[in-house]
Amino acid sequence: MNLTQEDWWEKLQADENAVILDVRTEDEWNDGIIPNAINIDIYKGQGFIYQVEELDKSKNYYVYCKAGGRSAQACNIMNQMGFETTYNLMGGFSEWGGPVDMPKV
């Protein structure tokens, strides 16, 4: 499901079963992240699938990339894999106005 920045953040704040998934590349990840995000690069192809298969399907996934395209694709893939609840951040990190952390190296 595509959500605006405000709706995505509001829903995330109220969701105790939430996981934030960043599907950008490592270089993009190093530019800053939404706090508590985990990173699985969608460009890794089959590697992305393998890593996503290890995630808990009972959680709700809040997915973002740089502009919203890759995260929408990731949500579609995850839904096909049996993940019931995925939320795509429309506009992605490039339009993000919420809190930003630097990833721990």
> Which residues are catalytic, by number?
65
Q: Around Cβ 8, how many Cβ atoms within 10 Å?
A: 24
The position carrying tokens 């190296």 is: 105
H/E element, 102: none
H/E element, 18: strand 18-22
d(CA 70, CA 31): 17
Burial classification of residue 94, based on how many CB atoms lie within 10 Å of its CB (0-12 exposed, 13-18 middle, 19 or more buried)? exposed
